[in-house]
């Protein structure tokens, strides 16, 4: 049984993004995810030719074929404030361009909240914003919408909402698809803790979004129970999903061919990497 999934984790860019490949390798990763700027705000560090050359050399040295970028947390494509919405559009376009220069496969983002308006109005604003982000884009890095956990008025906590949000973007250059976060999906009420339930979750995803748009997964256990509507990551096997639940989902054909990225706490991360390696090794046995 062919399994092409690479195991990675979110790593720090403290001291510069050029340090990220070494940090990933030190954790036993085969790929990684990182920010390219502060997730809380401020200007993005310049990607000089020297930075780009050093980063690529370090990618080669530590055996990393590619990596992924997480957009800053302050993105809100559904904001009723034009300043926030347009700043989010600008930053995401910048991240795509930066990702193309760095050689990243994907930029994934949390779409934001429809607070202060109806869901329908927020989703329309998000659809329009995604179109603006991709208008005229010619880079190699793809844009991914990340599934949300369902807290408050966040967009994208159901497959239907994600499908609604990306309607019209699928044919645009640069749109790549969806990042499936196991903790977020579980907290939103999607149960995949055994093989039958995992198949049911995939069928629901296929009907509303399409499995061809499943491009990446964040693999996190959950501190909250099924449908708990909170984004609380836990180390692999230490939460309400458990090793068997994650293995049931990751062992399915669509998940065997996409990268698995951990977003668990640094302390104890080595055990998480080992757990995912064990899941991958046992697929099909």
DSSP conformation class of 213: G
Q: Does any domain span residue 120?
A: yes
The tens digit of pLDDT for each residue in 50-66 reads: 999 999 999 999 999 99
Q: Does any domain span residue 259?
A: yes
Residue 180: strand pairing partners: 217
C-alpha to C-alpha distances, 60 to 9, 19, 30, 129, nearest whole angstrom: 18, 13, 12, 35
Tokens standing for residue 110: 């949390």
What CATH number has the domain bearing residue 232? Answer: 3.20.20.150
Q: Does any domain span residue 1?
A: no
The tens digit of pLDDT for each residue in 64-101 reads: 999 999 999 999 999 999 999 999 999 999 999 999 99
Range of the domain at 25: 7-282
Q: Does any domain span residue 2?
A: no
What mean pLDDT is reported for the chain?
Answer: 96
Domain tally, the chain: 1
Residue 178: strand pairing partners: 145, 214
Phi then psi for 222, rounded to 5 degrees?
-125, 130
Is the model's pLDDT at 150 over the cut of 80?
no
The tens digit of pLDDT for each residue in 222-268 reads: 999 999 999 999 999 999 999 999 999 999 999 999 999 999 999 99
Q: What percentage of residues in the chain have a pLDDT greater than 90? A: 94
Q: What global pTM score does this model have?
A: 0.96
């Amino acid at each position: 049984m062919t399994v092409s999934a690479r195991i990675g984790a979110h790593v720090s860019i403290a001291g510069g993004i050029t340090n990220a490949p070494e940090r990933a390798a030190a954790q036993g990763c085969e790929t990684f995810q990182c920010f390219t700027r502060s997730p809380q705000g401020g200007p993005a560090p310049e990607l000089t030719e020297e930075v780009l050359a050093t980063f690529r050399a370090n990618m080669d040295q530590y055996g990393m074929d590619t990596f992924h970028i997480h957009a800053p947390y302050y993105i809100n494509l559904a904001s009723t404030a034009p300043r926030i919405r347009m700043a989010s559009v600008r930053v995401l376009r910048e991240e795509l361009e930066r990702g193309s220069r760095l050689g990243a496969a994907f930029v994934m983002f949390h779409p934001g909240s429809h607070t202060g308006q109806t869901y329908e109005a927020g989703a329309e604003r998000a659809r329009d914003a995604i179109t603006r982000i991709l208008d005229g884009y010619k880079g190699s890095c793809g844009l991914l919408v990340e599934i949300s956990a369902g807290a408050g008025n966040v967009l994208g906590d159901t497959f239907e909402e994600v499908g609604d949000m990306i309607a019209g973007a699928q044919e645009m250059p640069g749109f790549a698809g969806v990042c499936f976060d196991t903790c977020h999906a579980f907290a939103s009420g999607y149960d995949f803790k055994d093989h039958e339930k995992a198949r049911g979750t995939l069928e629901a995803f296929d009907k509303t979004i399409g499995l061809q748009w499943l491009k990446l997964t964040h693999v996190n256990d959950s501190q909250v129970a099924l449908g708990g509507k909170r984004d609380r990551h836990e180390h692999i096997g230490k939460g309400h999903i458990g090793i068997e639940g994650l293995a049931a989902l990751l062992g399915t054909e669509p998940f065997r061919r996409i990268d698995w990225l951990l977003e668990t706490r640094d302390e104890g991360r080595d055990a998480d990497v080992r757990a995912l390696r064990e899941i991958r090794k046992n697929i099909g046995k």
